[in-house]
Amino acid sequence: MIATDALTGQIKAAPRALPADNFSNGFYGQDILSVKQFNRDNLNYIYRVADEMRSLVKRFGKANLLDGKILANLFYEPSTRTSSSFQAAMLRLGGRCISINEVRYSSVTKGESLPDTIRTMESYCDLTVLRHPEKGAAELAARYARKPLINAGDGVGEHPTQALLDIYTIEDDLGRLDGLKVAMMGDLKYGRTVHSLTRLLSLYNTQFYFVSPEQLQMPDEILDEVRASGHPFEVLRDVQPIIGEIDVLYVTRVQKERFEDPTEYEKLKDFYIVDQALMAQAKADMILMHPLPRVYEIAMEVDDDPRAAYFRQMENGMYIRMALLAAVLGKA
């Protein structure tokens, strides 16, 4: 059992915005907890560093920027891509990694609190990457941490590094971020990636479409933010009316692990399936995105369609995480 007693305390209201200094563009020594910390300038900085990381990996495979640094990779929830891409990012930059993916083999099973586990890991390491099932856990952990902490997903809250790699992929594939029509479809209620992505895309001139069954609708908190920022949006049950005009279709898995009632999950798990027939109605220059893992929601027949961007997203994740690690450790 995970000891979450400390999570009942007051969580700090908002993460610090990144300061405007000239050292690693304000990232040095900072926590990355929410996409709310970003603006267009520091996003662009991370994207250009990620470009450098990509060409560095393609040409040399590695660099020694983070030689001597150690990352604590602490995952209280399952992960394939986020955990291994942070690890690969650290290794390719010449650093090392202590990964705790199986918290059941750690002192967490003895009842250790999150703050104590964080204090322990940072006494050995230079920064911590944390995934946790509770919304707000990263903010709580960061309150106790003396070294930088990166949120790798906090329950149904946010997944900031996923949103960074999503936007990087959109810019890379479509060549622009302003003036796009973006549809998000699937589990918008529990899918943390779409919460972060909506917030980050609100920095750009975006027309949003939120497509979901009523039970899995985008939380009011996020819709209110979109409304307040003045971006046009529509809430839909079906993608059909807009499939021919959107630039991005971002699909999410129905998040089985968040359902209290398994029969409710069974009813909703394959509510939407993207197949070739649907893709045939979409624009030739749109892209289909997914944070992965996909379960039912995208048929494998779509994988060879050049518009399927999900495997590119996955690869870009490593370059973005290399850029973030280097920036936070003051080496970018």
Shortest Å, Cβ 163 to ligand ASP: 10
Concerning whether 231 is annotated as a catalytic residue, the answer is no
Nearer to ligand ASP, 92 or 159 (CB): 159
Q: Where are the beta strands (DSSP E) in the chain?
A: 70-75, 96-100, 127-132, 149-154, 180-185, 206-211, 233-236, 248-251, 287-289
Give buried/exposed letters for 298-325 (b at 16+ CB in 10 A, else e): beeebeeeebbbbebbbebbbbbbbbbb
Among 87, 193, 202, 316, binds ligand ASP (CB under 6 A): 193
From 81, 96, 256, 312, the catalytic residue? 81
From 132, 147, 159, 331, the catalytic residue? 159
Among 15, 26, 95, 153, binds ligand ASP (CB under 6 A): 153
Among 192, 195, 199, 321, binds ligand ASP (CB under 6 A): 192
Nearer to ligand ASP, 96 or 312 (CB): 312
**In this structure, are residues 271 and 160 in contact, taking their beta carbons and an 8 Å threshold?**
no
Q: In whole angstroms, what is the distance from residue 301 CA to residue 285 CA?
A: 18
Concerning whether 81 is annotated as a catalytic residue, the answer is yes
Nearer to ligand ASP, 197 or 279 (CB): 197
321 touching ligand ASP, by CB under 6 A: no
Q: Which tokens in the block code for residue 322?
A: 């290399």
CB-based contacts of 64: which residues, under 8 Å, 6+ apart?
A: 93, 94
From 82, 117, 161, 198, the catalytic residue? 82
Give buried/exposed letters for 17-48 (b at 16+ CB in 10 A, else e): ebeeeeebbbbbebbbbbbbbbeeebbebbbe
Q: Pick the stretch among 222-230, 236-244, 248-256, 310-318 that binds ligand ASP (CB under 6 A).
A: 248-256
69 touching ligand ASP, by CB under 6 A: no
Nearer to ligand ASP, 63 or 320 (CB): 320
Shortest Å, Cβ 76 to ligand ASP: 12
CB atoms near residue 100 (< 10 Å):
17
Q: In whole angstroms, what is the distance from residue 182 CA to residue 197 CA?
A: 10
Contact letters for ligand ASP, residues 123-152 (x by CB under 6 A): ------------------------------
Residue with tokens 């996409």, as numbered in its chain = 35
Q: Pick the stretch among 57-65, 251-259, 297-305, 313-321 that binds ligand ASP (CB under 6 A).
A: 251-259
Residue with tokens 């979109």, as numbered in its chain = 226
Q: In whole angstroms, what is the distance from residue 136 CA to residue 219 CA?
A: 16
159 touching ligand ASP, by CB under 6 A: yes
The letter for the amino acid at 291 is P
Concerning whether 110 is annotated as a catalytic residue, the answer is yes
Among 92, 253, 321, 331, binds ligand ASP (CB under 6 A): 253
**In this structure, are residues 14 and 7 in contact, taking their beta carbons and an 8 Å threshold?**
no
Q: Which residues lie near ligand ASP (CB under 6 A)?
A: 153, 159, 192-193, 252-253, 255, 291
Active site positions, annotated: 81-82, 110, 131, 159
